[in-house]
């Protein structure tokens, strides 16, 4: 009886563990071309140089204006001298409205201001990034993959990040 109970528990645990690993999401096709390589899924980018956030699902920048946070598809004029392709980006996953804890992110990642150490999706030669509609190779990729919606998630809309906290820089140290 104990062996049977152990077998049932073991099989149940194996089934749950298998299901937990299946729900992995990819949003390469909706990330901006200036986003850093190394991430299959991103909720937010934090841009330490301008203390601004970018929310990938809505494609909007979230920046401080006085005492409130504003959302816009384009950066305000005061940031026109900044190049989002070359500034450092911090990936934030699994946090709802991180800008409401801006002090935490500013203190934790402020030392990345002025760093130009990431390859943007636009400049990557890895084929997996060609799904991004702003990548220079996207048109050719689309011809070779007819019927793909360009979002790179194969219909999966979950929010898995492969067990990481989303704050790393892909393969390299952050």
* Per-residue buried b or exposed e for 67-94, using 16+ beta carbons within 10 Å of the residue's own CB: eeeeeeeebeeebeeeebbebbbbbbbe
Q: For the residues 81-94, what does the mean pLDDT come to? A: 96
Q: Whole-model pTM?
A: 0.71
- Among 26-35, 83-92, 98-107, the range scoring the smallest mean pLDDT is 26-35
């Amino acid at each position: 009886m104990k062996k049977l109970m152990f077998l049932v528990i073991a099989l149940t645990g194996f089934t749950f563990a298998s299901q937990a690993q299946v729900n992995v999401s990819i949003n390469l096709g909706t990330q901006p071309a200036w986003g850093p390589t190394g991430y299959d899924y991103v909720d937010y980018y934090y841009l330490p140089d301008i203390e601004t956030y970018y929310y990938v699902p809505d494609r909007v920048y979230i920046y401080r204006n006085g005492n409130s946070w504003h959302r816009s598809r384009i950066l305000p004029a005061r940031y026109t001298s900044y190049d989002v392709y070359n500034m450092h980006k911090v990936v934030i996953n699994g946090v709802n409205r991180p800008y409401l804890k801006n002090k935490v992110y500013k203190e934790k990642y402020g030392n990345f201001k002025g760093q130009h150490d990431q390859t943007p999706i636009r400049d990557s030669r890895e084929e997996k990034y060609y799904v991004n509609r702003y990548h220079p190779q996207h048109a050719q990729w689309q011809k070779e993959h007819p019927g793909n919606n360009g979002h790179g998630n194969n219909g999966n809309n979950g929010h898995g990040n492969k067990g990481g906290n989303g704050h790393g820089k892909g393969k390299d140290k952050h």
